[in-house]
Amino acid sequence: MSETELQPLSYSTRPTLRIDLVQLAENYNALKALAPRAKVGASVKADAYGLGAESVGRALYGAGCRIFFVATSGEGKILRDAIGPNGAIYVLNGPAPRDRGVLLGAKLKPVINSIGQARYWAGVCREVNDPPYTAIHIDTGMNRLGMSAADVEMLAADKQLWRDLNPEWVMSHLACAPDADNPLNAEQLKRFKRLAAKLPPTPMSLANTAGIYLGKDYHFGLVRPGIGLYGGQATTIPAQESTKPVVRLLAPILQLRSVAAGESLGYNSTHIAQRDMNIAVVGAGYADGLPVALSNTGHAIIHDQEVPIVGRISMDLTILDVSEVVMPVQVGGVAVFLGDQLQAHARDAGTIDYELLIRLGQRLRRDYLRGESKERPERSAPRKPERRDDKPAGERAFKPKKKRGRPDLNPNRPQGGSGSYGSSRGPRGKPRR
């Protein structure tokens, strides 16, 4: 059937990123079930892995998440505005002088990565009323951010410094968790326990998504999943993982063409047609997050069939070979990237699923699929359509629940831990009355 014989479609030339917030919440609960004795936080750094920290943060809050991790204070401010005052937001990169105002104003909790950061932030804490709690990050073998063994010794010896920082978590990060057989996992676990034991008793956190699958010895009081929330592959054994993809990139078909054998396609003529072929030009390119490395190696899905990418991916457009597609291909239809093909795309591009998600372009129209949240305001106004692409109608279902009586407006109240290190502590570690 030719293009002119098909019923015309109504479509936009703008590609769409379809993000399933219902599946996101199901992934959160699936990971929570794997670590039933631990609190489950969420890593929403880098704009929630490229999916939109505001909408993702609200959806996770609606699923019951109250502990979030971002990389920078700017990310934390955006998330604070989205979820309201009652969630704990930790800034993994720690405090810096130019971030002081944002950290304090948005009630963010810095993760302390060095003795220098510790001394700087302790000075800030002495200057303000009701400063936020912190977390202490110990390096146990990744040699990235984190306190060295010598830093831990100095912190342990300086009781006033510890009191000024008032930490509510001691944490570390696993370097090789996806590979359960890597001996560094057990070595990091041993180092973490040994170094944490030098500090005053404090709840501990070690596991990312892959760390959750290493078992309960790695869970401690808090796990911090990231890629698993978004449906990425976290371990070298995908069959054991209980999460599913939450995102698909839908690229509109803009033009259909016939190409004769011997003709070239795309920039630099990197593909020469070996036979007569039919191609579809779709409206998504490397500006939208499709790596150039997928050129002539990757594929998309049209009508549930894999169709190869031919020619070099350009900034706004990608060419697909649709010669073998059984169902009619039509201008205005869509080619699907990511989704169940996320790992295949990462493999074909020679990268990891994390990077593919992070690279998703800001010009993509974001279409959030959502269900009803368990956290609903007591009074719901009639829903009105949202005009902004990043805030579709229905998003308010994921705003923090209003409480009866006087609300708790103190975001510095500890959001994790147990006993004297959890919610029973008042400001600055004093017992509540």
For the chain, give the longest Cα–Cα distance. Answer: 82
Identify whether the C-beta of residue 338 lies closer than 8 Å to the C-beta of residue 246. no
Of 159, 190, 267, 402, the active-site residue reads 267
Rounded to whole angstroms, what are the CA distances from 185 to 294, 367, 372?
33, 39, 39
Beta carbons within 10 angstroms of residue 108's beta carbon: 26
Asked about 402 being catalytic, the answer comes back as no
Q: What angle do CA 257, 263, 269 make, to 5 degrees?
A: 105
Any idea which residue has 């703008």 for tokens? 14
Asked about 45 being catalytic, the answer comes back as yes
Identify whether the C-beta of residue 89 lies closer than 8 Å to the C-beta of residue 54. no
User: Which residues, in sequence order, are CB contacts of 261 under 8 Å at separation 6+?
Assistant: 273, 274, 275, 276, 277
**Of the candidates 102, 28, 97, the residue with the CA atom closest to the CA atom of residue 70:** 102
Any idea which residue has 């509510």 for tokens? 168
**C-alpha to C-alpha distance for 218 and 208, rounded to whole angstroms:** 9
Of 39, 45, 77, 109, the active-site residue reads 45
Question: What residues are labeled active site?
Answer: 45, 267
